[in-house]
Structure 1
Amino acid sequence: MTWGWTGGGRGTWTGADAEASLDAMVDRLGVTWVTLAFSALQDTAQSTTIAWRDAPTPTDDEIRTAIRAAHARGLQVCLKPVVNVRNGTWRAHIAFFDEDVPCEPTWAQWFAAYTEFQVHYARIAAEEGVAMVCVGCEMVQSDKREDEWRALVAAVREVYPGLVTYNCDKYQEGNVRWWDAVDVVSSSGYYPVDDWEAQLDRIEAVVRRVGKPFLFLEAGCPSREGSPALPNDWALPGAPSGEAQADWYRAAFAACARRDWVGGFMLWDWPTRLYAEAEAAANDDYCPYGKPAEGVIRDAYAEGVARRAHG
């Protein structure tokens, strides 16, 4: 599961609620890995400074405490620092001119700030024994900047000895030309309930060509009528429906179980403070806590663990 994003931010990653959330995630789902995901803000899609030292980004102490709490529960950890845009623009639209223009912000300026941001947390990951770091998430407009991304990964590797991945956006798996620079190929698996086979066929060609392990570093569906057809739309209108969410998970897991190259999921997502279980039926967000999808996930994960144990 992904933990720490929803309801997260500075002041929420530690304490009784956070501990109870982690316990419930492990006990009720049987997860073996957790992605600890958090954001830092830049003002606009063309800003070249990232305020990772400021709220809402969790403090270094909070991040270290959460890593240790996950480790204490037997989990492997992926640390995922993500840049977001303060004005609400989706980070996929962060972009600059292909050729530098005087007095205009540049890719070089942005990547310098972004590299400092990523390297800072890579050092923490190294010191805390984190198994994997994710150096970017759904940065569609920047994916084409191959040289800059290769240099960023190299800078991370100077301070961090573990696995490195990049989380490309849905449908973008074939557009990243620098997969050889990372250890694990990963993407956001928000695919329509009836389209999994076609999308997996497409992704498989990329994975076979690259020759790297693959997992979905994000995947999930809101518990809402209509969401299985468009699971990436967190604001899609519709009545709460736990069964709709469960149906999407059944389809996703069934399709992926037939593909031996799908190495796993970091599902989206599990909040730092859980809603009351009695309120689950009225909750239409991604978290499966107390919903029918919880059992679907638990059973699929148990089968996956057993399958790996036997070969």
Structure 2
Amino acid sequence: MRIDIRFLLVLVVAICITACSATPVAGQQINGVSFVSSKDNLTQSHIDPILNVGASHAAVMPFAFVRDKNHPELQFNSERQWFGERYTGVKQYVEALHQNDIKVMIKPHIWIWRGVFTGDMKMDSEADWELFEKSYEDYILLYAALAEETHAELFCIGTELYNFTKERPEFWASLIEKVRNVFSGKLTYAENWDKVGEVTFWSDLDFIGADAYFPVTDEVTPTTAKAKGGWEPHKKLLVSLSQRYSKPILFTEFGYRSADYAGKEPWVSDRHDGKMNAKAQANLYEAVFETFWDEEWFAGGFAWKWFHNHDRAIQEENNRFTPQGKEAEQILKKWYERDVK
């Protein structure tokens, strides 16, 4: 059988173009920390430790509160909230970070009483859904307008709200359009690790946002190699999502506790009395960076979580998520400083 060389060349070029267009290039790496809101103003002494690890970005998180997962009205921007959780505090945080050339993602969060998971929110009636949607839209558009006023680089339209996105797709399409009319920067949404593949509106945003608490290993103190192996099936999912929507992947949250079995169920945040295992946390951090940070389709992420009072955070031995004062902080510094120009 005769093969037309010219036809083969055209076919190869076409395949290459298709493959290249399906895999987006993220551009500048986002080396971020998730800033815990506090009662205090953000001062230079709070920002210097972020600069010291080479972070380029910080997530600032205004909170809304609700009594239970079926309650249709949010409470937000209240004087009863901590300074950093409400409008004036978010504004001060963003401005202080920008003065230090740290880019910002404003990332609204809902807190349900007793820490009930927000992804389970579901209203009991159409009337309740409509009331909740109005409350949520007011909340998001308030902070989208603040993001525009302060020239925040990114805005997140929601955090871990899968039932809400599944049940009310028309609302989310309308909300994204309204946010676009208010905010001129980049948009994302932060979905929990186990539902990130089921969100239907990624094509309308700039980044596919994952709160990246994927289970990777059930070992007490996993090696970096073991954790990297555990990432492989999840990485395939993320690559396929990136190619399907032609959008880069952003870890809107990533991190681990400094505790035994930290890679088994990384989403678990309940307080417990187990000993600190800084090595497990550090190895898991290293695995994330080695697995993702050199991929062109990967935009970076925001380490969970960073307390404003660094001096206090490093004095307290704990098995919580913060990398501050632990081996994981040095892993952050190594990778984040690598990308500093």
TM-score bucket (shorter structure): 0.7 to 0.9
The question of 1:41 aligning with 2:65 is answered yes
How do 1:1-311 and structure 2 match up within 5 A? 1-5=32-36, 8-9=37-38, 11-12=39-40, 14-16=41-43, 19-27=44-52, 29-54=53-78, 55-56=80-81, 58-97=85-124, 100=126, 105-144=127-166, 145-193=168-216, 194=227, 195-235=230-270, 237=272, 238-257=274-293, 259-274=295-310, 276=312, 279-280=315-316, 282-303=317-338, 305=339
Contact 1:40 1:51 in 2 (8 A): yes
What is the CA distance between 1:262 and its match in structure 2?
Answer: 1.2
Contact 1:2 1:37 in 2 (8 A): no
- Which one-letter code corresponds to 1:250 in the other structure? E
Greater alpha carbon shift after TM alignment, 48-57 vs 263-272: 48-57
Cα deviation code 1:26-59 (max 9, x no counterpart): 11x1000111113110111111211112132533
Contact 2:153 2:186 in 1 (8 A): yes
For residues 134 and 86 of structure 2, the distance between their equivalents in structure 1, rounded to whole angstroms, comes to 21
Instruction: Give the structure with higher Rg (CA).
Output: 2
For residues 50 and 124 of structure 1, the distance between their equivalents in structure 2, rounded to whole angstroms, comes to 19
Contact 2:254 2:304 in 1 (8 A): yes
- Which one-letter code corresponds to 2:318 in the other structure? N
Contact 1:41 1:50 in 2 (8 A): yes
Contact 1:179 1:210 in 2 (8 A): yes
- Which one-letter code corresponds to 1:247 in the other structure? N
Structure 1's 247 and 177: CA in aligned 2 closer, same or farther, altered over 3 A? same
For residues 298 and 122 of structure 2, the distance between their equivalents in structure 1, rounded to whole angstroms, comes to 31
For residues 329 and 33 of structure 2, the distance between their equivalents in structure 1, rounded to whole angstroms, comes to 14
Contact 1:222 1:231 in 2 (8 A): yes
> Tell me, what secondary structure is at the counterpart of 1:171?
coil
- Which one-letter code corresponds to 2:75 in the other structure? A
Contact 1:2 1:36 in 2 (8 A): no
Structure 1's 277 and 59: CA in aligned 2 closer, same or farther, altered over 3 A? closer
What is the CA distance between 1:228 and its match in structure 2?
Answer: 2.2
- Which one-letter code corresponds to 2:239 in the other structure? E
- Which one-letter code corresponds to 1:154 in the other structure? E
What is the CA distance between 1:3 and its match in structure 2?
Answer: 3.7
For residues 223 and 120 of structure 1, the distance between their equivalents in structure 2, rounded to whole angstroms, comes to 36
Structure 1's 108 and 157: CA in aligned 2 closer, same or farther, altered over 3 A? same
Structure 1's 173 and 15: CA in aligned 2 closer, same or farther, altered over 3 A? closer
Cα deviation code 1:240-282 (max 9, x no counterpart): 01111101101111111353211101110101223536635x2
Greater alpha carbon shift after TM alignment, 128-137 vs 188-197: 188-197
Aligned alpha-carbon RMSD (Å): 1.9
For residues 132 and 178 of structure 2, the distance between their equivalents in structure 1, rounded to whole angstroms, comes to 15
Contact 1:40 1:56 in 2 (8 A): no
What is the CA distance between 1:15 and its match in structure 2?
Answer: 5.0
Identity of aligned residues (%): 22
What is the CA distance between 1:141 and its match in structure 2?
Answer: 1.2
What is the TM-score of this pair, normalised by structure 2? Answer: 0.81
For residues 260 and 156 of structure 1, the distance between their equivalents in structure 2, rounded to whole angstroms, comes to 28
Contact 1:227 1:236 in 2 (8 A): no
Cα deviation code 1:183-228 (max 9, x no counterpart): 1111111123432111010111111000112210100001111212
For residues 187 and 3 of structure 1, the distance between their equivalents in structure 2, rounded to whole angstroms, comes to 14
Contact 2:119 2:163 in 1 (8 A): yes
For residues 211 and 307 of structure 2, the distance between their equivalents in structure 1, rounded to whole angstroms, comes to 18
Cα deviation code 1:2-23 (max 9, x no counterpart): 3433xx34x33x055xx42221
Greater alpha carbon shift after TM alignment, 73-82 vs 184-193: 184-193
